[in-house]
Amino acid sequence: QVQFVESGGGLVQPGGSLRLSCAASGSTFRLYSMDWYRQAPGKQRELVATISSVGSTDYLDSVKGRFTISRDNAKNTVYLQMNSLQPEDTAAYYCNRRPSPLTWGQGTQVTVSS
């Protein structure tokens, strides 16, 4: 069964950067679009960035120009490079595939604070 393991989160000051990674098990990673979501306390989970199986990308308006999603199919991994982080980016970040999303991983916490 495919699983996702997110990593790379941490505490960073406003204006800082982090690179998140999501490692997927299984042999069909390359066939799916991959999405990064985030969920802040008391809020619904929201889609932050997506990358198709052929590399097309799209972003939540509030992160455009600051976040970059990429994938390495040889490593079954999707990345989220986050620059110019702001306090409102504080959330737990998760990845999942599309279509047919699977059970959510444990996520990785990003905290932006001075």
93 burial via Cβ count (<10 Å: 0-12, 13-18, 19+): buried
pLDDT digits (tens, 9 = 90+) for 79-110: 999 999 999 999 999 999 999 888 999 999 99
pLDDT band at residue 26 using 50, 70 and 90 as cut-offs: confident
Distance of CA 90 to the CA centre of its chain: 13
pLDDT band at residue 32 using 50, 70 and 90 as cut-offs: very high
pLDDT digits (tens, 9 = 90+) for 42-81: 999 999 999 999 999 999 999 999 999 999 999 999 999 9
Range list of β-strands (E), the chain: 4-7, 10-12, 18-24, 33-39, 46-51, 57-59, 67-72, 77-82, 91-98, 108-112
For residue 21, CA distances in Å to 30, 43, 95 come to 16, 23, 9
